[in-house]
Structure 1
């Protein structure tokens, strides 16, 4: 079985865009009708690219101003260098979870899929290509120490409670070095735990987040604007965090969604596990 619910392409993009919700609490025009479109007013001029308004952006315009200031500060302090380590405590500017788990019911519990993730599986996607975009694997880590790969006491407590045994982290960089994608898989004992972890990752909870990897040759992730998307893949939580390299504000949230859909293709190895659980044979 290959991508039973079509997470990539037009159907996946439509579903992802459809679950984006509204927040603009920091804007002085927060009470105005259609306030979500204040962030990127040119969206309405792009045929076929309109987002449902308003958009999900935690912290609103005030947060974006703070992000811009932070980017300038980081650049000034580092001299524009690219080798600064990523900040440990990173929260995305925008976050969209998907709790459905559609198509992955047969591995909703780890008892149906007990084999540990191997490095060969986790990092099999050396290059990701979709929609004219190409991303290369630039950094990777597979660990059984779920606490060491995350920050935040509440998140770490839930990871322990729901049986986290592995965390996969990968960083991908676009061919033109303009975008960076962080790909994360958390191996838990069941779908209930996945959904709780996805709730913990909501930036409003400040419960914690996985720490990000530094991709060589580009600025460290997490200092500016970023968008994260999290999904339920049976007993796995799959998370992507994407940004323009250096954290500059994107032209629209569509740009971040399109990048995320490419990066999520790194989850293909989980479809092989789904096939194995369902048929006893690896997927083709």
Structure 2
């Protein structure tokens, strides 16, 4: 199921609260990152979605214990992704077993520990014309309850924190300014797509961000592969 199923709600949310989100989500800390990590920033627009009933059999990591691998999260068929007029190339990826090292915010980091975060996979995408950048993020939690809590924490209105963007050679870095993120719990995984115009300028519309995000959502297919293994029923 695509992350973006409530586009109309996003438009209303941004129209009503853009100023507040700019204030809360635009702070940047140049000292925040380690190797591969970008600055401490949050998206301006954020759309959360809880897990749907299709993911019930993937609700507990005890049923899906094998760790994510780099090749599973970022196989060859997600090196280039596209939707509508947007085409992106994977500039770099990283799979970290240290969830604290690739995030910021005491509350978020506390909940990652509480709900057994074991891995965070990040992929940095850049559009072919280098006008847009995107981040694909997958967080491996012990339960669906944990994944849904992380989705709530990532809302900039909570001030809980966010995942650090992955910097990659050849891709413009994520910056403070306008960006949009879409997050959903997929069983015990939290999946986030996060996009912005390179440099952080205001997009022409939210549809621009939605379409770009749908392009870089492709790596989330690994979750459906996991569900097939647990469920035993090919999709």
TM-score, L = length of structure 1: 0.73
Write out per-residue CA displacement over residues 147-182 of structure 1, whole angstroms, 9 at most, x where no aligned residue. Answer: 111111111110000000000000011111111110
SS of the residue corresponding to residue 137 of structure 2 reads strand
| Aligned partners of 1:88 and 1:151 also within 8 Å | no
| Aligned partners of 2:130 and 2:172 also within 8 Å | no
Give the C-alpha shift of residue 112 in structure 1. 1.2
Change (3 A) 1:243 1:188: same
The answer for the alignment partner of 2:91 in structure 1 is 138
The answer for the alignment partner of 1:59 in structure 2 is 20
Bigger share in strand: 2
| Aligned partners of 1:23 and 1:59 also within 8 Å | no
Match of 2:7 among 12, 17, 27: 17
Change (3 A) 1:87 1:171: closer
Give the C-alpha shift of residue 87 in structure 1. 4.7
Match of 2:191 among 230, 238, 251: 238
The answer for the alignment partner of 2:132 in structure 1 is 179
Give the C-alpha shift of residue 22 in structure 1. 4.0
Aligned counterparts of 2:190 and 2:207: Cα–Cα separation in 1: 23
Change (3 A) 1:21 1:132: closer
Aligned counterparts of 1:86 and 1:120: Cα–Cα separation in 2: 21
Aligned counterparts of 1:231 and 1:164: Cα–Cα separation in 2: 16
Counting only pairs closer than 5 Å after superposition, residues 61-100 of structure 1 correspond to structure 2 as 63=22, 87-100=38-51
Give the C-alpha shift of residue 16 in structure 1. 2.9
SS of the residue corresponding to residue 268 of structure 1 reads helix
| Aligned partners of 2:43 and 2:179 also within 8 Å | yes
Match of 2:150 among 154, 174, 197: 197
| Aligned partners of 2:126 and 2:172 also within 8 Å | no
1:108 aligns with 2:98: no
Size of the aligned set, in residue pairs, is 226
SS of the residue corresponding to residue 59 of structure 1 reads helix
1:118 aligns with 2:118: no
Match of 2:202 among 224, 240, 249: 249
Match of 2:121 among 155, 158, 168: 168
| Aligned partners of 1:86 and 1:223 also within 8 Å | no
Q: Which moved more, 1:126-135 or 1:227-236?
A: 126-135
Write out per-residue CA displacement over residues 39-87 of structure 1, whole angstroms, 9 at most, x where no aligned residue. Answer: xxxxxxxxxxxxxxx5x63626xx38x96xx99xx9xxxxxxxxxx875
TM-score, L = length of structure 2: 0.87
Give the C-alpha shift of residue 199 in structure 1. 1.1
Structure 2: gaps spanning 5 or more residues: 31-35
Structure 1: gaps spanning 5 or more residues: 25-35, 37-53, 75-84
Aligned counterparts of 1:238 and 1:248: Cα–Cα separation in 2: 25
